[in-house]
A = this chain, B = another copy of it.
Amino acid sequence: MAKRIKIKEKDPKRTEISTLGEFGLIKHLTKKFELKNASSKLGIGDDAAVIDNKGDLTVVSTDLLIEGIHFDLVYTPLKHLGYKSVVVNLSDIYAMNAIPQQITYSIGVSNRFSVEALNELYEGIRIACDKYTVDLVGGDTTSSLKGLIISVTAVGVGDKKSIVRRNTAKVGDSICVTGDLGGAYLGLQLLEREKEIFLDDSKIQPDFEKQDFLIRRFLMPEAKQEIIDFFHAEKIIPTAMIDISDGLSSELLHICQDSGVGGNIYDVKIPIENETKQLAFKFDLDPTTCALNGGEEYELLFTIKEKDLEKIAERPDITIIGMITEKKDGIKLVGNTGNKHDITAQGWDPIKE
């Protein structure tokens, strides 16, 4: 294990939020945000935002994120949190095969947070909005009694004929996944380990074992914009689609159960990066289990018709991992020797925790 280094304590400039007031704070935080989409007719500064979608369908998704439940500020820089909170929400819009265009962003903050801290959060939001060409058009800014509370709503636009739901997979369709899986979960394990050490002595700099890739997978995931752009360019309409926020198992169950079908996925086909495998072994974890149950990946799980298989063959970032079967055949993980296991949801369930 690499050497841990003691770091000096910082003394950053701190401006109390109360010095700005609600409207002053909103103005301050959002002054760098410019409207980029023609459909964004009116942004922050009135009772509501106004969007012009010219006859296309409007797609809306919302997330509520609570400190201590969804994020841990001990190892999540506020800029990363701002970025990730936007991306996670956009991911839901892409998972409908639609294009996100606007977000509203609301925060509840306790007096623990300074204006400088919120600047960091909004810098992350701004970077995400720029990267995904999304406009911040509204929100609500208020106090909280404890911790940071974030609510993000994304609005997107989709063509009537190409919106993709999760309940429309058909027997014989191929099951595909983008990117690779399990990385975010192992990044989180690494961060949790370093947090324990940090809580013992906050002056010891964390040792991430050069696993930037895995840390990044957890702290700064990306929504799969390029996949949706590719679908649109190639006129591929998946038969069903969902983003992987709660783990592959949980999402596959959603698609199969909602569609009234079964499915086989093949252990050996599940895309797992070498870094992920190595760190899994180090933590005494099974990489496939990490890939099946580790959430917060924001990769896309989708099913496509046989005729479209050729179109995706050349993409290194799309892997065919199985096939939709009859409902009576169940939802199974097929091992190397052809042995089959029932897939059950062990994904992240914030209510059950």
Contact = CB atoms under 8 A, between A and B. Distances in A.
Given A47-B96, A146-B145, A165-B42, A106 B350 contact: no
B166 A62 contact: no
A76 interface: no
Chain A's interface size range is: 35 or more
Chain multiplicity (copies) = 2
A256 interface: no
Contact of A48 (B96, B102, B104, B139): B96
Contact of A69 (B45, B50, B143): B143
A186 interface: no
B351 A70 contact: no
A142 B93 CA distance: 20
B143 A146 contact: no
A55 B55 contact: yes
A204 interface: no
B145 A350 contact: no
Given A69-B108, A142-B69, A50 B55 contact: no
A160 B68 CA distance: 43
A66 interface: yes
Contacts of A106: 62-64, 151
Contact of A50 (B23, B54, B58): B58
A351 B143 contact: yes
A149 interface: yes
Residue picked from A106, A151, A167, most chain B C-beta under 10 Å? A151
A352 B151 contact: no
A107 interface: yes
B142 A66 contact: yes
Nearest to A48: B61
Given A22-B349, A142-B350, A149 B147 contact: no
B51 A95 contact: no
Given A23-B349, A51-B57, 5 more contacts: A46-B167, A48-B61, A60-B153, A62-B138, A145-B147
Q: Give 7 nearest A-B pairs by CB, closest first.
A: A48-B61, A151-B151, A51-B58, A22-B351, A47-B92, A47-B95, A64-B106
